[in-house]
Amino acid sequence: MVRDSIVGLWGGDGERESGTLNLLSVGERKEAMQGVRHGGCNCGAVRLEVRGEPMRAGLCHCLTCRKETGAPFMAFAVWDQSQVSVAGDTRSWTQTTDHRHFCPSCGSSLFGAHDADSEVEVRLGCFDEAPTDLNPEYELWISRREHWLSLVADAAQHTRSSLFGHINAQ
Ligand SMILES: [Zn+2]
Ligand SMILES: [Zn+2]
């Protein structure tokens, strides 16, 4: 299910000025000043834009996040849905009240949304910039952390989680 409220179209590459190699367009300079970040899936069918700084960023080691991403943990940052635009169709898997969106063509994990609030949990791995400038402030479900991973310095450590989307994980 795609939540229409966070799905919208915006001007994509077609609106960029051409012939200005090595120079940012007026639009891009404006975006950089506003803290706009771009991301998307591997095949390009889904593009994502977030505006402004996230409310928080974290890591989760729970089984649900591991299986969603196929990775030993999932990293994310959270924005209000008013700051997030998604172009392209996604599909989602819902565990209880959380909807984990992915690209139906290439399977890339993209973001999570919840019934109970307007937060969008964007997967750090879907940003075009790597590494990002976003640092996890907390870790969830550290009881599931792989033994060869060390904890993130200065990040709060939670054995489990009280946050939506990770409550019913195991
Ligand atoms: Zn894709
Ligand atoms: Zn989780």
> Which ligand has the shortest distance to the CA of 126?
1
Q: Which two tokens stand for residue 83?
A: 């700051």
Which amino acid type is present at position 132?
T
8 occurs within a structural domain: no
Pairing of strands 109-114, 119-123: antiparallel
136 C-alpha to ligand 2 centroid (Å): 14
pTM: 0.79
167 occurs within a structural domain: no
pLDDT attached to residue 81 = 96
10 occurs within a structural domain: no
79 C-alpha to ligand 1 centroid (Å): 22
In degrees and rounded to multiples of 5, residue 50 shows phi and psi of -125, 145
In degrees and rounded to multiples of 5, residue 121 shows phi and psi of -100, 100
132 occurs within a structural domain: yes
78 occurs within a structural domain: yes
97 occurs within a structural domain: yes
135 C-alpha to ligand 1 centroid (Å): 25
pLDDT attached to residue 14 = 39
Sheet order of strands, 47-51 included: 36-40, 47-51, 84-87
**Total tally of structural domains belonging to the chain:** 1
104 C-alpha to ligand 1 centroid (Å): 7
Domain CATH number, residue 86: 3.90.1590.10
Structural domain harbouring 52: 28-157
Contacts of 90 (CB under 8 A, 6+ apart): 2, 7, 46, 101, 102, 103, 104, 110
82 occurs within a structural domain: yes
pLDDT attached to residue 169 = 55
Instruction: Show pLDDT as tens, one digit a residue, over the chain (170 residues).
Output: 444 444 443 334 434 444 444 466 767 666 666 799 999 999 999 999 999 999 999 999 999 999 999 999 999 999 999 999 999 999 999 988 889 999 999 999 999 999 889 999 999 999 999 999 999 999 999 999 999 999 999 999 998 776 655 765 55
